[in-house]
Structure 1
């Protein structure tokens, strides 16, 4: 593993720094928005703006890279992102923040495409799985570490936004100084939603619902904490718990994924997510001040609800690939990323509307209901199609929901290669 990482360590360091800055900004929106008096509905629109930009960037960045190259696109998007982070404190208005979030979402999506292209080019068929796993861990650690940095300053001042901007700015140094030129990004034309749904109804519907869940957790978690009176440190811990659970649960879910009917695992993980949301809602209904005994049940609920979200994303990708040919996988990857983006736009809007009308603790019922719908649909699909034999399924590889289509395509190709190698080994044990 050390030998594998020696060739990509600079890229991974850069990714950690980017995620530190981006992770800080996600939570800062909720913290500073509460200080500015923004409503939950306004912050929901601001949150959704990020994913509108993210979806646009996923479509347009490959064209920009083909036109002017990785380095120029990467540097330009980084500059815009760094400037956008500082601009939040200069324009404390919901409409301005929405525009800035669209810009940041576009920039981050493009940065992912460029960085993942370099990363994928640096890997071989033998090392691609380990490189992508290291990339996932680096991203997650960056997001969690960002929450710790938030405790070092005051969200009411410009300091934390400036700090996030600095982290993003310096993150490009190790990447640009170490990355070698790579061929222009060739992203397959996304499969239509109709064809994708026909091939894997559960995969398509599940990815859409999971987009709603992930965006709500990442974007509205800090808003929820701010509105129920959590301190800045408690909010940072709450958001960190949403992502820390993924590091713990990713491996056991992946291990089970290659051994049991994946629909049963999707059902079980979604049901656990729904149950943990119920725990969060019950903990809140009995809480007087947030500092009371209900705080830790809230943290446990965040750990479990967030913990199943990322593994579910990779699980749904793997399940969808089980019913596709190797030639269809690249196009399906683009379709799934697009479907996830659509869910990510609508999820925070629904949650913000509910929180605005029914109070901040509506955060949990909306999340729980979405998990529950996913669980029920998985249960329904079990009655409609026979399970694929475990030995014929594609291998599981953890992929973050924020990954661009480049990483999703690479993960799918790796999974198909691994599964084929395992089948050949079984057919020819000698």
Structure 2
């Protein structure tokens, strides 16, 4: 593993620093918005703006790279993002913040596309799986670490926004000083929604609903914390627990994914996610129960994203996977735009703890739809399934396509290893 990381550590370090800055800003929006007197509905619109920009960036960045190259695009997006972070405390208006969030979402999406294309170019078929796993861990650790930094300052001043901007600015140094030119990003045109639905109804509907869940957790978690009366330290811990759960449960769920019917596993994970929301709903006044519910809710969300991608790929040919990956990322983004708006309205109407029933209802919808799909189509034999994709919701179509390629190659390699043994066993039995 050390040898694998030796060639990509500057990229991973840069991504870690970017996620420290971006993770700080996500929580700061909720903290500073409460200080400024913004309503839950207003902050929901601000949150959704990020994902509007994110979708736009995923579509436009490849065109920008073709025109001026990776380095210029990467540097320009980093500059705009750093400037946007500093502007938040200067112009405290919900509509200005929404525009700034669109800008930052666009920049982050473009940064992901650029960095992931470099990362994919640096990896080989043998190392791609490990590199993608390290990339996922670096992103998640960055978000978790960002919450610790929030406890060192006051959200009512500009200091924390400046720190986030500095982290983003510094993050580009190890990347730009070490990378070599990468090939032009070539991403397949996303598969149309109608085709996705026909190919994998559960994968398409599930990932749309999951987009709503993820954006609500990441974007409205701090808003919930402020309105529920939590301290800054408790809010930071709450957000950190959402992503700590993702680290804890990613591997065991991935292990189960390659050993059982994925639709049953989707149902079980969604049911556990709904149960965690019930715990959160009844946790008023019990901080330990609240943190446990956050860990479980976040721990079910991120692995479920990778599980939906793997399940959808089981029904596709390798040639269809790139287009389907782009379509699924786009579908996830649509759900991410809608989710905070619904949750913000619910919290505005029924109070802070409406955060949990809204999340729980979406988890239940996923579970019920998974049960329904089990009655409509036979399961794919385990021998024909692709390997679990170790990706998280913040990645761009570049990483999703790379993970899909790795999953196919890994699954084929495993089948090649087991087939000779089976043939040898059959010959031995016939000889006996």
Normalised-by-shorter TM-score class: over 0.9
* Coordinate RMSD, CA, aligned: 0.6
Matches for 1:336-375 after TM superposition, within 5 Å: 336-375=328-367
Residues 21-420 of structure 1 aligned to structure 2 (within 5 Å): 21-284=21-284, 287=285, 294-420=286-412
The answer to whether the 8 A contact 2:276-2:293 is kept is yes
CA deviations 1:214-273 (Å, max 9, x no partner) are: 000000000000011111100000000000001100010000000000001000000000
Question: In the aligned structure 2, how far is the partner of 1:267 from the partner of 1:206?
Answer: 11
For normalisation by structure 2, the TM-score amounts to 0.97
Query: Matched residues in 1 for 2:323 and 2:389: separation?
Result: 18
State how far apart, in whole Å, the 1-side matches of 2:412 and 2:374 are: 25
Deviation at 1:424, TM superposition (A): 1.7
Q: Separation in 2 of the partners of 1:426 and 1:141?
A: 36
**Structure 1 position 421, deviation (Å):** 1.3
Q: Runs of 4 or more off by more than 6 Å in structure 1?
A: none
**How many pairs were matched up?**
422
Structure 2 CA distance, aligned partners of 1:352 and 1:336?
Answer: 25
Contact in 1 for aligned 2:54/2:106 (Cα 8 Å):
yes
Q: 1:124-168 CA deviation, whole Å, 9 max, x = no partner?
A: 000000000000000000000000000000000000000000000
Following superposition, the deviation at residue 283 of structure 1 comes to: 1.3
User: Deviation per CA, 1:164-212, whole angstroms, max 9, x where unpaired?
Assistant: 0000000000000111101100000000000011000000000000000
For 1:11 and 1:237, locate their aligned partners in 2 and report how far apart those are by CA, in whole Å: 27
Report the Cα distance in structure 2 between the residues aligned to 1:122 and 1:158, rounded to whole angstroms: 38
Paired residues of 1:270 and 1:375 also in contact (CA < 8 A) = yes
Residue pair 1:355, 1:362 contacting (<8 A) in 2 also: yes
Q: CA deviation at 1:428?
A: 2.3
Indicate conservation of the 8 Å contact 2:58/2:110, yes or no: yes
Q: What SS does the aligned partner of 2:177 have?
A: helix
Tell me the alpha carbon deviations over residues 23-42 of structure 1, each in whole angstroms, 9 at most, x when there is no partner.
00000000000000000000
Please tell me whether the aligned partners of residues 65 and 185 of structure 1 are also in contact (alpha carbons under 8 angstroms). Answer: yes
Take 1:141 and 1:130, find their aligned partners in 2: how far apart are those partners? 16
Contact 1:208 1:343 in 2 (8 A): yes
Which runs of 5 or more residues in structure 2 are unaligned?
425-432
Query: SS of the counterpart of 2:409?
Result: helix
Contact 2:309-2:389 at 8 Å conserved across structures: no
Provide the residue aligned with 1:290 in structure 2.
none
For residue 397 of structure 1, report the CA deviation from its aligned partner.
2.4
TM-score (norm: length of structure 1): 0.98
Answer with 413-422 or 45-54: which moved more: 413-422
1:291 corresponds to: none
Contact map agreement 1:133 1:397 (CA 8 A) in 2: no
Query: Alignment partner of 1:283: what SS?
Result: coil
